[in-house]
Amino acid sequence: MDIVDTQATPDGNPEMADAAPEPKAPPLIRREDYTPFPWLVPEIALDFDLGLDRTRIRSALTVQRNSAAVPNDMIRLNGDGLTPVEVKVDGEAINDWSMDDADLMLPLRGDSHLVEVITEIDPSANSQLMGLYASNGMLCTQCEAEGFRRITFFPDRPDVLSTYRVRMEGPKDQFPVLLSNGNCVAEGEAGNGRHWAEWHDPWRKPSYLFALVAGDLVANRDSFTTRSGRKVDLAIWVREGDLERTGHAMESLKNSMKWDEETFGREYDLDLFNIVAVSDFNMGAMENKGLNIFNTKYVLADTETATDGDYDAIEGVIGHEYFHNWSGNRITCRDWFQLSLKEGFTVLRDQLFSADMGSEPVKRIEDVRILRSVQFPEDSGPLAHPIRPDSYREISNFYTATVYNKGAEVIRMMRTMAGPEAFRKGTDLYFDRHDGEAATCEDFVSSIEEGAGLDLGQFRLWYSQAGTPKLSVRLDHAGETATLHLSQQVPATPGQAEKKPMPIPLRIALFDPETGRHDGEKLVVLTEAEANFSFDGFARKPILSINRGFSAPVSIDRRIDSEDLVFLAANDDDPFARYEAMQDLVVGHLREAISGSLDQAGISAGRAAIRKALSAILQDDALDDLMRGELMIMPSQSYLAEQMLVADPAAIHREREGLKAWLAGELGSELLALHDRAGSVSAGSDAAARGARKVRGQALAYLAAGDADRAARLASAQYDAAANMTERQSALVALAGLEVPQRAERLKDFYDRYRGNALVIDKWFAIQAQSLHPDALQHVKALADHPDFTLRNPNRVRSLYMAFAVNPHAFHAADGEGYRMIADLILALDPINPQTAARFVPPLGRWRRIEPGRAELMRAQLERIAAAPNLSRDTHEQVSRSLG
């Protein structure tokens, strides 16, 4: 069993780790140094002799001089951990090749050649899960960003585009299914129990989109007819016992294909579309051309094992990877600095898709909550970077919320300023102009600018400047004129001390406080550091609703009375603005309470205002429960910490939980009535049932902060009667945070009920690791020794340790034990899977924003990691940047 001792460094001796020499920093790669590769590779043929312990690869590259590049008589073929078995040029074996670190260097004198290289690898030993690796008896690949070089020598960069022909051969009993990109053009028997298949992808692609899967799989098959009348065969490949849980994924795929045709005019371009679910996977999914490889988490679902949130996530990720067929595959990135070109745009596309499939306002609120909980902290910390970075040392560290989520928000702002129809003209121009190319962010902005008729000169600053703009807002009233005063400041970030003002589009409305109505929404765009906007016709001072729909990814300080926030929380007709008013009401009160600036009267007044607003939400019959559930969610502890220059996690936790407990006491009968009412309609899959399940979970969260015994009885009854995972899980979440007998009983029942189902057992680990229980840290330490825990599976590692690292109550234990636990994990995991290990560094990297005592403990753990020998490039870069 893979059991990790979380109290020791990899060699078991913390003192030795502290004394290790400083590792050599990886080379810095800069965007401004980009030059085209001197050789084109229009075609590549790959021949795989497959085996779990030994796979032999013969690659044949047709290469031609690139007239757009500086000539070079040497070709550099990237490798990682490879040794050439044989090298040929134009059919002749050669010996004048050399190695430059991990790369193969070949002299080439003519204008075109055929380069052949044979390599051998051991997929079963590939714990990094990059390149070709073994997963529970099957072979699969992950090549983004630089995994292809772990399979064979190749110019492994996104601007080298090739057509691929792939032949695979292996034991038929072990690998009855052989899949690759494109279309299967031939297959047959090879004798001695072996068989083969040949695949051809007619569309040029970079090496990071190469994919191969070989294993014992079964398929859910269906088809889709495109708008031009072509039939596309669809298949979702899984293990035998998982087939019945693929129905939702298939429906999501077909919905994605139809939506992309209708909304962006994009039709699928192959005869076949395959998805494979893999249990060992570093990421969520991968958009390889025609053969998407998915983490099982984003494919498998039924009501017994998946929550409503799981269903939504599957739909969104299926859509995201499918939409990449155009925004990522047909048009790819010139270099990795342009990553947001495909990821930011595709995140926006999947957000719009999910909004159309479900509740648009709820989806918008969910997206903003993710942005604020992950990207805003990233933007204000040592790892801050623009959505188009200027440099990196390890590209896998730039698969960040900034590139993905902020990148999507930046493109959404273009759509807001242009309007949906003009924005569509811009995207049509982009697809038509750059189809088949490796493009840049500038290519995209220029297409939107020209197609939509916008001037985006100043707007380009959003691509080059890091940091979340801080907006100060004040509304004055004199006579019949309301004047909106706006000012912006973009804070300093690493490497960018001075910032220029950026264009900020703000959707606003001005409410009459007596009638409760406004005269229509307006769009104002702040382009300077300060500006005023005047509006006439207001006999009374209006109430300002600003950044409606979260039209700009900014942080807003608005000087507004709590009475006006209560009004907006109860009456605003923009769902996001209503949610925002409730959030601001709670954040403002808690921030003052935590700072100690409120006397008892101030605390009572603040709580009373929040109670009034929450009561109005609970009793509003016009609200659907999906939206009601969003309005009930309190600001997270991490978001509260972001609102403070220096955060005290213990004080935030104390005041936040104290407010929840007080509200539970004041509104207990209303919360109980809501829980009971929702329970009568919580069965089913329609929006009403999903909303009912959502508010039941939120009601339990409040009640659990109040009367623990009453909440335990209520949650236990809900758990026992649950007919779906959503209700069972929300009940168990409430129980996991309580010191009651029912906690252990239901946790044991949950484990026994789902033993052997890896995805559900991941939930079991995560529920305990992120619980509000006072002994959560000790529970995590015990769970690390559980027989079902392993460092070899990224899902399992994240389910325990990432859930813990984002649990501020437990992670920020005053004695620093939580910080040491994560540091120990990083040191143990880095030699096994550096990409996953590096993703645990950012929680420690927030030390500058934490009160001095804890900050020193966090910094000490970062220094201990930095001193360890043989750190990976991934972890070394994250730690060194976090330390500054």
- In degrees rounded to 5, what are phi and psi of residue 583? -65, -45
Query: How far is it, in rounded angstroms, from Cα 498 to Cα 500?
Result: 7
Check 144, 321, 378, 630 and give the catalytic one.
321
Torsion over CA of 842, 145, 406 and 859, rounded to 10 degrees?
10
Residue 778 neighbours by CB under 8 Å, 6+ apart: none
Q: Which amino acid is at 84?
A: P
Q: CB–CB of 641/593 below 8 Å?
A: no
Positions of E strands within 432-480: 438-439, 470-478
DSSP per-residue codes, 708-774: HHHHHHHHHHHHHH-SSHHHHHHHHHHHHTS-SHHHHHHHHHHHHHHTT-HHHHHHHHHHHHT---T
Q: Which amino acid is at 386?
A: P
Residue 640 neighbours by CB under 8 Å, 6+ apart: 587, 590, 591, 594, 647, 652, 656
Q: What is the token pair recorded at 455?
A: 């001037």
The enclosing H or E element of 155 equals: none
Query: How far is it, in rounded angstroms, from Cα 675 to Cα 698?
Result: 9
Q: Which amino acid is at 505?
A: P
- Please name the residue that has the structure tokens 């016009």: 622
Pairing of strands 272-278, 194-205: unpaired
Number of CB atoms found within 10 A of residue 876's CB: 26
- In degrees rounded to 5, what are phi and psi of residue 526? -85, 120
Residue 741 neighbours by CB under 8 Å, 6+ apart: none
Residue 770 neighbours by CB under 8 Å, 6+ apart: 776, 803, 804, 806, 807
Query: How far is it, in rounded angstroms, from Cα 395 to Cα 398?
Result: 5
Q: CB–CB of 803/769 below 8 Å?
A: yes
Of 481, 483, 465, 463, which Cα lies nearest the Cα of 473?
483
Q: What is the token pair recorded at 196?
A: 């083969």
Query: How far is it, in rounded angstroms, from Cα 676 to Cα 475?
Result: 43
Strand partners, 164: 44, 201
Query: How far is it, in rounded angstroms, from Cα 473 to Cα 481?
Result: 17
Q: CB–CB of 153/59 below 8 Å?
A: yes
| Crossing angle of the two packed helices 441-452 and 420-434, in degrees rounded to 10 | 130
Query: How far is it, in rounded angstroms, from Cα 569 to Cα 675?
Result: 22
Query: How far is it, in rounded angstroms, from Cα 211 to Cα 46?
Result: 12
Query: How far is it, in rounded angstroms, from Cα 792 to Cα 769?
Result: 19
Q: What is the token pair recorded at 622?
A: 């016009």
146 is catalytic: no
Half-sphere exposure of 487 (CA within 13 A, CB side): 6
Catalytic residues: 321
